[in-house]
Amino acid sequence: MSGFNVDFIEKYLASADAGVADDQYKAGLLFSTGDGVDQDLVTAHKWFNLAAMNGVEAARENRAEISMDMSAQEIARAQKMAREWMMGR
């Protein structure tokens, strides 16, 4: 974990949850690297998926990259999380 403080991370994730595409991408980066949060590829995939749907091309590339380290079940869970997030909007 890096030197990010909890308030910074919470604000970042709140912005991602509010639908800000760039912050969704950055949330994916945080979770994929474990920078300031526990590494969680399923959650990272979810955020990259949402950012990609909102036009962030780099999110597509990162999603493909982390998918190589995930099982089919983990990817399915991440996709379900993204769908549930979209339905809750």
- Tokens describing residue 54: 């909102």
What number of residues does the chain have? 89
Predicted local distance difference test score (pLDDT) of residue 2: 53
Predicted local distance difference test score (pLDDT) of residue 6: 81
The domain tally of the chain equals 1
Predicted local distance difference test score (pLDDT) of residue 8: 84
- Show the low-confidence residues of the chain (pLDDT under 50): 1
Question: Does residue 59 belong to any structural domain of this protein?
Answer: yes
Burial bucket for residue 69 (CB in 10 Å: 0-12, 13-18, 19+): exposed
Predicted local distance difference test score (pLDDT) of residue 1: 45
What pTM was estimated for this model as a whole? 0.91
**Domain carrying residue 12:** 6-87
State the CB neighbour count (10 A cutoff) for residue 87: 7
Question: Does residue 46 belong to any structural domain of this protein?
Answer: yes
Predicted local distance difference test score (pLDDT) of residue 72: 98
Predicted local distance difference test score (pLDDT) of residue 58: 98
What is the distance between the alpha carbons of residues 46 and 42, in angstroms, rounded to a whole number?
Answer: 6
Backbone angles phi, psi at 22, to 5 degrees: -60, -35
Predicted local distance difference test score (pLDDT) of residue 3: 57
Question: Does residue 52 belong to any structural domain of this protein?
Answer: yes
- Tokens describing residue 19: 């639908």
Predicted local distance difference test score (pLDDT) of residue 46: 98
Question: Does residue 1 belong to any structural domain of this protein?
Answer: no
